Amino acid sequence: MLQAAYCRYLLHFKQPAITSRAVMLDKTTYFVKIWDDNNPEVYGLGECALFKGLGADDLPDYEQRLADACRDITSWLRGKPLPVDPLYSSIVFGLETALADLANGGRRVIFPSPWSNGDSAISINGLVWMGNADAMLQRIDEKLAQGFRCVKLKIGGIDFNEELRLISYIRESYPASTLQLRLDANGAFTPDNALIHLDRLARYDIHSIEQPIKPRQWDAMSRISRESPIDIALDEELIGIVTLDRMEKMLDAIMPRYIILKPSLCGGFGMASSWISEADKRGIGRWVTSALESNVGLNAIAQWTATLDTRDMPQGLGTGALYTDNITSPLRQTGDVLRYDTEASWQIPQLPWKR
């Protein structure tokens, strides 16, 4: 019979993580482990990566829902729906990861592939967090010195003219032929000013911009997607959509150029696969991005990504070095690629598991 337990874990950022939504100094996450009581030494490990303030599952009863899912896993039958409301995306994500890990021998191998065997690499983009102008310039220079050919810049948190100056500085030194620039507005613009801002940004050869306005404004986002001189990528717009019907309606209404897949936020791996299928039907591109998970969640997302046709597009998986107290893992970021070092080992600390 399967058994499960969970625990809360607090991650601390090396430096404040600033978006247009908030300033984060730490992040609460949860780990879940699942084992067969006939062989309790072998267990699958997953991360229920709750994202407070963003996830649709950021609700007062979250931990109780997680505890209930761990209790109900004892009567769960493989092939049946997981014992949790699909709205609780990060719990679905954690359970999927732990069950797949257990099925593969409890070795933190979730989706076996040449990548998890150490034989290939995933191209990733560099991520530059918001800050004052001088700090952002320094971070940009560091990413470029590390060899990144695609950098994602979070905008919307400081004066827009200052952000234009930063982007102009980048383009003066690095033309689009040598550096791809992605922007993430995290919904910082409004339906009234978004196209004005996008017109001013377009002169800098921007690859795409994520979520220019806040989600659930389908008519406005559809108009922006049609008229924008920069390709629109939907990110937060996917959060909280847990049925195929709603997914189809949103994609048909907005028809973005890209969608951003964050499995812990958009329904887990099963739902993320449905997003890919529906996007492909409509000629909508996509890439995968982590959402501030620890290395446990990042490992699962990277292994899943390695099984996809990414068309050599850089993925958003460069978040493994954000925390002072991350879980030590075989994940290795070298320049603009992420690898899995099969010679390294996982070091899981003693954790206060709850039943």
The token pair at 21 is 């939504």
Q: Give whole-number Cα distances, 229 to 116, 193, 238, 279, 328, in Å.
A: 39, 14, 22, 21, 42
101 Cβ contact list (under 8 Å, min separation 6): 43, 44, 45, 46, 107, 108, 109, 110
Q: Report the Cα 148 to chain-centroid distance in Å.
A: 19
Is 262 in the active site? yes
Residue of 27, 152, 154, 214 with catalytic role: 154
Burial tier of 285 (Cβ tally within 10 Å: 0-12, 13-18, 19+): middle
Residue of 14, 262, 281, 354 with catalytic role: 262
The token pair at 33 is 């482990």
Is 52 in the active site? no
Residues serving a catalytic function are 154, 262
